[in-house]
């Protein structure tokens, strides 16, 4: 199964994708995570992407479609994929069709996490992750069970994203409205689009998605 999780910054794409990965043996392909890894490693892609990401703007379609193709080539054809944060423009949606077709894959569902944008600023500015394993947390909505210790791996190192400040979040939302939201009708016309209530509690959102996937 190949699915897309679509929604604005902070909608919960990463949170839900990592749950599906753990529960269903699918693989999460997050272009945001891949680009952050490239920035950290100082690769040519990372050098191009760093300032763009810090400004909350979109990295070029060629770069992100390139890294998605490469990531798919590392997976066996039977492995299901959750696209998290890709596609984000009409050109990327078109590239994804070609990328999947070339690998004998097809798109099964596009799941829109519908959210109230104002609530997202709080979600994003309160977000942090484990510096070792990447498990996601939130100052208000999801604290580690034991303060200062990661539930998943026991690490005591946590980090915050450089683009998780209010000003950059507003730019990311403007980019979403202008360039990403317009691809929803494309998937609707293909009868692939399913909407879930992304404002519900994390577990409730997961069950809504499970119902769609069957
Ligand atoms: P990316 O990393 O994809 O960031 P984003 O789309 O802005 O989305 P986020 O990761 O911020 O949010 P999310 O939906 O994953 O939410 P999360 O689950 O963490 O992209 C970053 C940058 O990379 C872009 O700005 C761009 O520059 C570049 N880029 C990436 N892909 C690109 C592409 N395809 N094309 C061009 N450029 C690209 O949840 C947020 C917080 O809320 C967490 O703390 C979580 O615990 C909490 N939370 C989640 N769900 C709930 C809930 N239901 N209730 C309460 N709290 C919740
Ligand atoms: Mg994310």
**Catalytic residue numbers?**
13, 88, 127, 161, 172
Q: Is the CB of 144 under 6 A from ligand 1?
A: no
Is the pLDDT reported for residue 157 higher than 90? Answer: yes
CA dist list (Å): 83 to 1, 122, 149, 180: 11, 24, 29, 14
pLDDT digits (tens, 9 = 90+) for 68-96: 999 999 999 999 999 999 999 999 999 99
Average pLDDT over residues 182-205: 97
**Ligand found nearest the CA of 171:** 1
Average pLDDT over residues 16-24: 94
Q: What percent of the chain has pLDDT over 90?
A: 97
> How far away, in angstroms, is 206 Cα from ligand 2 center?
15
Average pLDDT over residues 173-183: 97
Is the pLDDT reported for residue 210 higher than 90? Answer: yes
> How far away, in angstroms, is 9 Cα from ligand 1 center?
4
- pLDDT category of residue 118 using cuts at 50, 70 and 90: confident
- pLDDT category of residue 117 using cuts at 50, 70 and 90: confident
- The whole-number pLDDT of residue 129 equals 96
Average pLDDT over residues 153-157: 97
pTM of the model: 0.94
- The whole-number pLDDT of residue 114 equals 96
* Per-chain mean pLDDT for the chain: 96
Is the pLDDT reported for residue 194 higher than 90? Answer: yes
Q: For ligand 1, atom 15, which residue shows the shortest CA distance?
A: 14
Q: Is the CB of 37 under 6 A from ligand 1?
A: no
Is the pLDDT reported for residue 186 higher than 90? Answer: yes
Identify which of 199, 161, 208, 164 has the alpha carbon closest to the alpha carbon of residue 11.
199
> How far away, in angstroms, is 32 Cα from ligand 1 center?
8
pLDDT digits (tens, 9 = 90+) for 139-148: 998 999 999 9
- The whole-number pLDDT of residue 72 equals 97
Three-class DSSP labels, the chain: CEEEEECCCCCCHHHHHHHHHHHHCCEEEEHHHHHHHHHHHCCHHHHHHHHHHHHCCCCCHHHHHHHHHHHHHCCCCCCCEEEECCCCCHHHHHHHHHHHHHCCCCCCEEEEEECCHHHHHHHHHCEEEECCCCCEEECCCECCCECCECCCCCCCCEECCCCCCHHHHHHHHHHHHHHHHHHHHHHHHCCCEEEEECCCCHHHHHHHHHHHHC
- pLDDT category of residue 205 using cuts at 50, 70 and 90: very high
């Amino acid at each position: 199964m190949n699915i897309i999780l679509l929604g604005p910054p902070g909608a919960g794409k990463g949170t839900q994708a990592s749950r599906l990965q753990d529960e269903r043996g699918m693989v999460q392909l997050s272009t945001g995570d891949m680009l952050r890894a490239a920035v950290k490693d100082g690769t040519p892609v990372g050098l191009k992407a760093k300032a763009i990401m810090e400004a909350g703007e979109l990295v070029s379609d060629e770069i992100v479609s390139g890294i998605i193709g490469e990531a798919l080539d590392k997976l066996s054809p039977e492995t299901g994929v959750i696209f998290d944060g890709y596609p984000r423009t009409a050109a990327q949606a078109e590239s994804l069709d070609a990328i999947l077709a070339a690998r004998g894959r097809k798109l099964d569902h596009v799941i829109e996490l519908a959210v109230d944008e104002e609530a997202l600023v709080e979600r994003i500015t309160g977000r942090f992750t484990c510096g070792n394993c990447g498990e996601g947390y939130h100052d208000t909505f999801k604290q580690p069970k034991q303060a200062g210790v990661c539930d998943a791996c026991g690490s005591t190192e946590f980090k915050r994203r450089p683009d998780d400040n209010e000003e950059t979040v507003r730019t990311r939302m403007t980019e979403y409205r202008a360039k990403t939201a317009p691809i929803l009708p494309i998937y609707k016309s293909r009868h692939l689009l399913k909407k879930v209530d992304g404002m519900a509690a994390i577990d409730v959102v997961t069950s809504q998605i499970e119902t769609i996937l069957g």
